């Protein structure tokens, strides 16, 4: 049975003005992501990968077109409604981990859950479980500075999925890591997606990782093209 689309971009446009010139970064981009699948977004620097992820993650508004998350069209929504969807349905991971330095790994993963209203005990239990899934269960009491780059990114991924979103968007999450570490981080991410039925769209320059994903897409003249 075909799985439900959790993210849809329909005829999305994004143009940036540069003096007299207009740069059309997204120009009628169409894309669908279904639960349980991991899709690689592979395209050269400057072609609009981050722009597409920001649209998909409701961090920016498209100039035209529609972004639908879990069946809900998001363009016409208020900022508060978009923020609520971002909190419940979307997890975002960046190239740099953006963990809070003064808190432990466990606390960093608990934070979004506490903001969502869970009790400390519930948040700690889920955070512990996520650290185990990411195979860093023994690192929970360490602060980010005491963790390796690969461990930091695994904590960042765990934090992104702490509130059980439908969609995980990752912008070159292993871009700062050596190939072996990148592969370990991807192993953990893949296991997490497979066991949770999450969907993931991952921008990467790493062709080995891209080959391990279910599908690959690229950007060509502002449109999404299957590779
Ligand atoms: P990628 O992630 O694939 O490297 P980006 O989505 O970051 O690409 O950027 C795509 C293009 O859009 C780049 O040429 C970039 O300079 C331009 N761009 C991105 N954000 C802005 C902005 N806020 N204003 C003007 N140009 C921008
Ligand atoms: Mg980018």
Residue closest by Cα to atom 7 of ligand 1: 50
Q: What is the mean pLDDT of residues 46-74?
A: 96
Is ligand 1 within 6 A of the CB of residue 204? no
Sign, CA torsion 144/150/155/161: positive
Spatial strand order of the sheet with 64-69 comes to 21-34, 5-18, 64-69, 72-73
Question: Long-range contacts for 63-66 (Cβ within 8 Å, ≥24 apart)?
Answer: 63/13, 63/14, 63/15, 64/11, 64/12, 64/13, 65/9, 65/10, 65/11, 65/12, 65/13, 65/26, 65/28, 65/29, 66/8, 66/9, 66/10, 66/11, 66/12
Q: Tell me: pLDDT of 141 over 70.
A: yes
Cα–Cα distance list, 107 to 54, 149, 189 (Å) = 26, 18, 20
Is ligand 1 within 6 A of the CB of residue 25? yes
Confidence of residue 112 (pLDDT cuts 50, 70, 90): very high
**Does the predicted TM-score (pTM) go above 0.85?**
yes
- Cα(173) to ligand 2 centroid in Å equals 11
Is ligand 1 within 6 A of the CB of residue 48? yes
The C-alpha atoms of residue 216 and residue 141 are separated, in whole angstroms, by: 37
Q: Which of 9-13, 56-60, 190-194 is predicted with the least confidence, judged by mean pLDDT?
A: 190-194
Is the Cβ–Cβ distance between 50 and 171 less than 8 Å?
yes
Q: Tell me: pLDDT of 219 over 90.
A: yes
For 61-108, write each residue's pLDDT tens digit.
999 999 999 999 999 999 999 999 999 999 999 989 899 999 999 999
Residue of 17, 27, 40, 50 best suited for mutating to test ligand 1, as the one with most atoms within 8 Å of CB: 50
Neighbours of ion ligand 2 (CB under 5 A): 49-50
């Amino acid at each position: 049975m075909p799985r439900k689309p959790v993210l849809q971009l329909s005829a999305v446009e994004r143009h940036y003005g540069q003096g007299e010139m207009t740069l059309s970064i997204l120009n009628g981009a169409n894309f669908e992501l279904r639960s349980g699948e991991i899709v690689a977004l592979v395209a050269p620097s400057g072609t609009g990968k981050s722009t597409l992820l920001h649209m998909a993650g409701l961090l920016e508004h498209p100039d035209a077109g529609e972004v639908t998350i879990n069946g809900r069209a998001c363009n016409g929504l208020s900022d508060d409604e978009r923020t609520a969807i971002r909190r419940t349905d979307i997890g975002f991971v960046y190239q740099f981990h953006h963990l809070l330095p003064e808190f432990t790994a466990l606390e960093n993963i608990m934070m979004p859950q506490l903001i969502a209203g869970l009790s400390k005990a519930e948040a700690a239990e889920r955070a512990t479980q996520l650290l185990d899934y990411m195979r860093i269960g023994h690192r929970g009491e360490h602060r980010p500075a005491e963790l390796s780059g690969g461990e930091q990114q695994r904590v960042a991924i765990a934090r992104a999925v702490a509130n059980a979103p439908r969609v995980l968007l990752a912008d070159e999450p292993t871009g700062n890591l050596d190939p072996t570490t990148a592969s370990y981080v991807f192993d953990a991410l893949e296991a997490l997606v497979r066991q949770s039925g999450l969907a993931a769209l991952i921008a990467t320059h790493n062709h080995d990782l891209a080959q391990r994903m279910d599908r690959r897409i690229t950007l060509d003249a502002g449109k999404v093209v299957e590779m």
